[in-house]
């Protein structure tokens, strides 16, 4: 496939686009991860969580963090990963009410955030960016970050993170490391 066709894909004979995976030059596949290395153990069952008004049946909203800290008006919903699934990631939904914010923190693990409700800000180090519906943020290792609701409507986002991860280090919100 030419470089031009990779940048500007053309529809296939059926009018759709190919979703075939192609290796990215310079990216190394994790050693020891073959197509069979992520097979679910026997007895692992699929589950469906019906959605209604930013809640999921069978998923209970819980405290953002069990210990006190510098955060306000935020709840967490552990949707996938905390109920015995064999996946290597957790999918959580966080919702920040008006005037609320997450802790300003950093950690070694990476995560992906997808905004699905309201509007907010993400603070990453010295930069502050607006977040709107379906904006995506990738936060790399050791980057100080915080999520802030900037409106009256709840600000909600999915967070995908490794199942096994280090504990966040809470930072002084007035500092910029």
Exposed, middle or buried, 157 (CB in 10 Å: 0-12/13-18/19+)?
buried
The sign of the dihedral angle between the CA atoms of 167, 171, 176, 177 is negative
Give every CB contact of residue 9 below 8 A, 6+ residues apart in sequence: 17, 18
Distance CA(65)–CA(74), nearest Å, equals 9
Annotated active-site residue 87? The verdict is no
Catalytic residue among 19, 87, 115, 159: 159
The pair of three-digit structure tokens given for residue 122, joined into one six-digit string: 């993400």
Give me the active site residues, please.
Answer: 159
């Amino acid at each position: 496939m030419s470089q031009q066709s990779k940048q500007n894909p053309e529809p296939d004979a059926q009018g759709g686009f190919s979703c075939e995976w192609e290796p990215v030059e310079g990216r190394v596949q994790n050693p020891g991860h073959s197509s069979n290395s992520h097979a679910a153990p026997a007895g692992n069952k699929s589950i469906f969580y019906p959605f209604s008004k930013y809640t999921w049946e069978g998923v209970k909203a819980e405290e953002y963090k069990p210990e006190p800290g510098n955060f306000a008006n935020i709840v967490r919903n552990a949707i996938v990963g905390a109920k015995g699934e064999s996946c290597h990631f957790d999918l959580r939904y966080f919702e920040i009410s008006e005037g609320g914010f997450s802790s300003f923190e950093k950690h070694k693990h990476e995560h992906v955030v997808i905004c699905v409700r309201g509007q907010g800000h993400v603070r990453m180090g010295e930069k502050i960016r607006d977040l709107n519906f379906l904006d995506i943020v990738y936060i790399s290792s050791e980057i100080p970050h915080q999520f802030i609701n900037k409106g009256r409507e709840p600000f909600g986002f999915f967070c995908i993170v490794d199942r096994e991860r280090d504990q966040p280090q809470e930072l002084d919100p007035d500092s910029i490391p």
